[in-house]
Structure 1
Amino acid sequence: MEWEEVEKVSREVEEGSLRVLSYTFSNDEKFITIPYSTEDNKTKEAIRMVRQAYNWDVQDEVVN
């Protein structure tokens, strides 16, 4: 999936702590889920940069 094809961005967050567990980038046909950890600086920075570049709104999905 190309970044230009992304129509929706969501992130799975842990109930209570609201710790981010993963990000999912999707459109009507495809999706990719990327595990997220605050300790993984390369992934954290890459997601921040691409979110800013495409100005996406992110939907939180709270899980137990």
Structure 2
Amino acid sequence: MQRVSCPDLTAAAWRSSSYSNQEGGDCVQVADGFPGLVPVRDSKVPHGSTLALSTSAWTAFVHGVVTG
């Protein structure tokens, strides 16, 4: 696994899944606009740790969730 440094995310626009409930629910949030990376965080702890996944790792994760 390749390690990459996480970009400055202070101005990131985070979004939750369209499957989240109106209150935001317990879900992951992602931020767009970072070429080659998908920043991911826990919606319950928005100022906590953030993962910066490669786009290929994020794609594989989403595929695994969708296909079970």
> TM class, shorter-chain normalised?
0.3 to 0.5
TM-score by length of 1: 0.35
Higher RCO structure, 1 or 2 (CA under 8 Å, sep 6+)? 1
Higher helix share: 1
TM-score by length of 2: 0.34
Q: Which has the larger radius of gyration?
A: 2
Higher strand share: 1
